[in-house]
Structure 1
Amino acid sequence: MKEFKKLITQNLDKFGMVIALVGLVLIFSFLTGGTIISPLNVTNIIMQNSYVIILAIGMVLVIITGEIDLSVGSIAAFVGAVAGVMLINMNLSLFIAVPIALIIGGLIGAWHGFWIAYMKIPAFIVTLAGMLLFRGLTMVTLGGRTLAPFPSAFRVISSRFLDDWLNGGEYHLLTIVIGIIAIISYVVLEIKKRKQNKELNVSVESKGFFIAKLIAIALVIAAFTERLAAYAGVPYIFFLLLVLILGYSFFTNRTISGRHVYAIGGNEKAAQLSGVKTQKIKFWVFVNMGVLSAIAGLIFAGRLNAATPQAGQNFELDAIAAAVIGGASLTGGAGTVIGALIGALIMGILDNGMSILGIGIDWQQSIKALVLLGAVAFDILNKNKRK
Structure 2
Amino acid sequence: MKDKILKIVKENTMLIVLVLVVIFFNITTHGTMLLPSQFNALITQNAYVYVLATGMLMCMLTGGNIDLSCGSFVCLVGVLGAKLMVEKGAPTPVGMIAMLAIGVIYGCVLGFVIAYMNIPPWIATLAGFLALRGWGVALMHGASNISPLPENFCGLFTGKMNDLFGGPRIGGVQYNMTSIVIGLIASVIVVFLLVRERATKIKKGYDHDSMAKVIVKSVLICFAIMLFAYKFALAGGVPFALVWVAVIVIIYSFITSKTDIGRYFYTIGGNAEATRLSGIDTKRIMFIAYLNMAILTVVSAWLTMSRFQAANSTAGTNYEMDAISACVVGGVSAYGGSGTVFGMIIGATLIGVINLGMSLMGIDANWQKVVKGVVLLGAVVFEILNNKKKAVK
Q: Per the shorter chain, which TM-score range? A: over 0.9
Instruction: Report how far residue 342 of structure 1 moved.
Output: 1.2
2:376 & 2:2 partners in 1: Cα distance? 32
Contact 2:107 2:292 in 1 (8 A): yes
Does residue 233 of structure 2 align to residue 229 of structure 1? yes
Partner of 1:148: 147
In structure 2, runs of 5+ residues without a counterpart are none
Q: Any idea what SS the aligned residue of 1:144 has?
A: coil
1:209 & 1:323 partners in 2: Cα distance? 26
Does residue 47 of structure 2 align to residue 61 of structure 1? no
1:247-271 CA-partner distances (Å, limit 9, x unpaired): 0011111111111111111111111
How do residues 22-33 of structure 1 correspond to structure 2 at under 5 angstroms?
A: 22-33=19-30
Partner of 2:289: 285
Q: TM-score, normalised by structure 2?
A: 0.95
1:285-331 CA-partner distances (Å, limit 9, x unpaired): 10000111111011101111111111111111111111111111221
Count of residue pairs the alignment pairs up: 384
Partner of 1:20: 17
1:331 & 1:87 partners in 2: Cα distance? 41
1:229 & 1:215 partners in 2: Cα distance? 20
Quick one: percent identity of the two aligned structures? 38
Among candidates 193, 198, 213, match of residue 194 of structure 1:
198
What's the Cα RMSD here?
Answer: 1.4
2:197 & 2:66 partners in 1: Cα distance? 35
1:306 & 1:249 partners in 2: Cα distance? 31
Q: Any idea what SS the aligned residue of 2:12 has?
A: helix
2:2 & 2:191 partners in 1: Cα distance? 24
How do residues 55-204 of structure 1 correspond to structure 2 at under 5 angstroms?
A: 55-66=52-63, 67-145=65-143, 146-168=145-167, 169=169, 170-204=174-208
Does residue 34 of structure 2 align to residue 37 of structure 1? yes
Contact 2:194 2:214 in 1 (8 A): no
2:328 & 2:137 partners in 1: Cα distance? 30
1:188-209 CA-partner distances (Å, limit 9, x unpaired): 2222222222222333333333
Q: 1:236 and 1:263, CA in 2 relative to 1: closer, same or farther beyond 3 A?
A: same
In structure 1, runs of 5+ residues without a counterpart are none
Contact 1:144 1:309 in 2 (8 A): no
Does residue 371 of structure 2 align to residue 367 of structure 1? yes
Contact 2:158 2:239 in 1 (8 A): yes
1:340 & 1:191 partners in 2: Cα distance? 23
Instruction: Report how far residue 3 of structure 1 moved.
Output: 7.9
1:189 & 1:139 partners in 2: Cα distance? 47
1:141 & 1:236 partners in 2: Cα distance? 30
Contact 2:73 2:132 in 1 (8 A): yes
Deviation >6 Å, runs of 4+: none
Greater shift in the superposed pair: 43-52 or 168-177:
168-177
1:171 & 1:312 partners in 2: Cα distance? 35
1:43 & 1:131 partners in 2: Cα distance? 30
1:76 & 1:286 partners in 2: Cα distance? 15
Amino acid at match of 1:111: V
Greater shift in the superposed pair: 161-170 or 344-353:
161-170
Contact 2:195 2:214 in 1 (8 A): no
Contact 1:150 1:302 in 2 (8 A): yes
Contact 2:161 2:237 in 1 (8 A): yes
2:37 & 2:311 partners in 1: Cα distance? 26
Q: TM-score, normalised by structure 1?
A: 0.96
Amino acid at match of 1:127: T
Amino acid at match of 2:18: L
